[in-house]
Amino acid sequence: MTSLKLKTNINGLNGKITIPGDKSISHRSVMFGSIAYGETKVTNFLPGEDCLSTISCFRKLGVIIEESDNQLRIIGKGFEGLTEPTEVLDVGNSGTTIRLLMGILAGRPFFSSLVGDESIGKRPMTRVTNPLSEIGARIDGRKDGSFTPISIRGGGLKPVNYHLPVASAQVKSALILAGLQAEGQSIIIEPEETRDHTERMIKKFGGEIHKDNQNIMVKGGQKLTATSIHVPGDISSAAFFLVAGAVIPDSEIVLKNVGLNPTRTGIIEVMKKMGADLEIVQNEETSFEPFGDLIIKTSSLKGTVIEGDLIPKLIDEIPIIALLATQAEGTTIIKDAEELKVKETNRIDTVVNELKKLGAKIEATEDGMIIYGKSVLSGGTVSSHGDHRIGMMLAIAALLCENEAELVNPEAISVSYPNFFAHLNSLIK
């Protein structure tokens, strides 16, 4: 396992960067292009390891996918065009790939097996396998289908009628994808609104899906039609530079082409609530996913409480929000975030432990954390624990450190942001 000496104690960040394509939308563009009829073209695709795992899986299912300079050409033949794989489908580190793919495979009348890396092997799958089994898919796996490897023999699905026990876009999306293949209308009820990229994607590909409060209704038997997709920049990736620009003195950063889907902008809401000097320049172009530019300047921040229905809108940003809170005056409390325990790592414990190593005053709770500002960060050796978002958060934290800082396993960052360090170095004075 390698380590990297991080830049520390810098004198400001200035410049412009174009944020790479949104990971969630990149995954879904491959999936929907594969199950639609015709040729789908995708621009600004994110060539991170997670999204490349999705491409690999669909190629093994018989789909022709061509890659060139962050662009894709996908030849889809509908759900019926997917063929039984002769190899195990390896999702790598990608929770989105395995959970959404299970929803697709649940409706296909053939056998397939899914596996992932060590991290995926620890992540619970019953939240998807249980409801898919209830509607007719035959699923097995380690510990009664709780963990990978997972095997699926699909087909003959009944409509989905399911109340999600936790707010999860991945589980919701898996059930929607299964519902598209079931006979009749499916209803999925989510306790709180989660990111709606799957619903927007269905409409973009000419399908129908309806929402009534928290009830999502989708009819089976729809035929989706190929289209062109431009992937906006990933706000979860932008979040690291938003926080960096806010907490590092003498900084001003312009972030170009950032997705502004309202189910994903919790980070913006929190930063404004904490007093960040943040400007949004909305793009006027019509797009199935809104996007624009963000301008962030060094800010005077104050602590806050982050809870309730805001959590699903920023679940992936909580590690970097924790760092933000270490540089705010007063106490910040994050709660209702139990979902963090089943991400690439237990992100509650990992964030708290790694920031403590750098000198932050922070403690874990059952459903979140308490951060006491304002902390002076000293330095030290920290680890990504194989989690891309932890790795990027620690690289930003190091910029504030007074002494040397070193990151173990920086390679994890390439999962979602392969050119993260190049972008960061371009901003340092």
- Catalytic residue set: 316
**C-beta of residue 111 within 8 angstroms of C-beta of residue 84:** yes
**C-beta of residue 216 within 8 angstroms of C-beta of residue 172:** yes
**C-beta of residue 108 within 8 angstroms of C-beta of residue 155:** yes
| Residues ≥6 apart with Cβ < 8 Å to 69 | none
Strands 64-68 and 71-77: antiparallel
Give the chain's length. 429
State the helix-helix crossing angle for 266-273 and 235-247, rounded to 10 degrees. 20
| Residues ≥6 apart with Cβ < 8 Å to 244 | 13, 251, 253, 396, 399, 424, 427
What backbone torsions phi and psi does residue 58 show, to the nearest 5 degrees? -75, -30
What backbone torsions phi and psi does residue 301 show, to the nearest 5 degrees? -110, 150
**C-beta of residue 340 within 8 angstroms of C-beta of residue 347:** yes
Alpha carbon separation from 14 to 251, 325, 379, 417, 419 (Å, rounded)? 6, 22, 23, 20, 17
Q: What tokens does 47 get?
A: 């060539």
- Residue 126 CB: number of other CB atoms within 10 A? 15
Cα separation, 332 vs 320, whole angstroms: 13
Furthest CA-CA distance within the chain? 62
- Residue 418 CB: number of other CB atoms within 10 A? 15
**C-beta of residue 276 within 8 angstroms of C-beta of residue 269:** no
Cα separation, 175 vs 106, whole angstroms: 9
| Residues ≥6 apart with Cβ < 8 Å to 57 | 89, 90, 91, 97, 101
Cis peptide preceding 124, ω within 30 of 0: no
Q: What tokens does 251 get?
A: 């900084």
